[in-house]
Structure 1
Amino acid sequence: MDTNKINFPTSFPKQHQSEKPGVEFSMNPRPVYEHEAYKHGNRLEGKVAIITGGDSGIGRAVAIAYAKEGADVAVMYYKEHQDAEETKNLVEKQGRRCLLISGDIANEEFCKSSVKEVINKLGKINILVNNAGEHYPQSGIENVTKDQLIRTFEVNVFSVFYMTKAVIPHMTEGDSIINTVSITAYAGNEELIDYSSSKGALVTFTRSMALSLATKKIRVNAVAPGSIWTPLIVASFSENKVSTFGSDAAMGRAGQPVELAPSYVFLASNDASYMTGEVLHVNGGKMVTT
């Protein structure tokens, strides 16, 4: 087998729209979270990372990659217990500890208590990955209700404020915060107006916090994914949209979670020691203005 060549799906069959966004077992094909072509070292040896939304999708791929690089991982997730247990097994397979914490990150008290639990059980926090997010496609702004707008910003933006505030007292020089933003923050999206707006807010948050924490030598960066094959896609879009998902990228296909993970490893490691306030674009060749 040629481990230097990776073949990822270029199209997806029509499939049932899941009523449970976190349950991916009916996805065809299932997302790719790890691949032997990626060679890992010990760039995060001895570190502890918190990953919100780490039960599946991009978060799971990052959790696995961090474990392979030597980090213990705390996975924060909503209600997707089956997905979370699978992620835990995959992390522990690498010989690292994995702490699962279930709850709603839109609640500040939950964020605070989760950070305390990580400190109590894993001893420290070196990396925070603010990855959890939700989106609800609508045909126009007139269909975006007040409740939807509030929920989108509570999960996608407020939680990032809460988690960042809670971890900063426990971080020291060389530690890092990484936010998951989106190509929609730069290119927009006619069906994801509130979601795109929330991700735009996170870009500004990333740059502002990088300046705020520079004197403490805590780095704050972000990754902006393009079209990535995750459970959120099947849960959100119609069968027709799912079947052609990612085909408009220059590379002609959707990305896989495993293709995002190296960017998060890089930003968390000493390899990115002179990077802060930056956004890495992993989107299959869609040109954006940064």
Structure 2
Amino acid sequence: MTGPLNPLDYIDIIEEGGTRTNSVQSYSYLRDGLPAQIRVPVAPGRYTLRYVEEIEGRAPRILASQPLEVTDLTYALTAPETAMAGSTLSIGWTGPNAQGDYIDVIEAGATRTNSAAADDYLTANPLPLILPLTPGAYEIRYIAEGPEGRVVAMTRPLTVTPPMVTLTAPATLAPGAEFTVQWQGPANPRSWIDIVVPGNAEFSGELTYAYLDPASPQVTLYAPTEAGSYELRFVAEDMRMNRQVLARVPLSVAAGAVAPSDGK
């Protein structure tokens, strides 16, 4: 553009026919550098691009304007229709990938753009999200961050199913023995398998633990050094740090028990 380039001058984008010079969400001060960069509204439609002169003590003046049509953009979300609670879901996406855009998982029918069960910025494609631990009807959404705020640009339904978990390990171990636990269930790197005293309902105080590697169906642990009765647990955690014990298996530690061969 050309113009007086006063320190307070700016360009803005307003809906077609708009005449106000305040409460316009999309604007950029020219003092920030030329050529000017301005964020286009998310909603398609007809707009006007304007040069607004602003001098302290005077009413703002529109010195130049031109029509601007904001066209629709193709959005896409690719993911399974169902997935297990607490599992990691890979979501493919198509969108503008503008600064602030993100994908979330939220209960079906929700309209808010905060406090979702799971969300993350578009750091990868597909984008991995850890699903909530509560089964039910949810939606995957592409949230576009525009000058007018956050806009739900696209949704697709997702059914989160109850978790199915199994733990397989020796029933009796020698004190301090190394052993392998085979597991099946919702795989995410925040979840873990631990050993606790029977009846422990807390998510602390474990005697030993190992985080899950989603790429491996097993973890290696060491039995407690004192003989007695214990529990092996599968503990799941989601992106909001909600935690649930999804499985418990009794474990006995006895002096003189035969150690598992090859640590298994």
Q: Same fold (TM over 0.5)?
A: no
> How does the TM-score come out when normalised to structure 2?
0.22
Q: More helix by proportion, 1 or 2? A: 1
The structure number with the bigger radius of gyration is 2
> How does the TM-score come out when normalised to structure 1?
0.20
Q: More strand by proportion, 1 or 2? A: 2
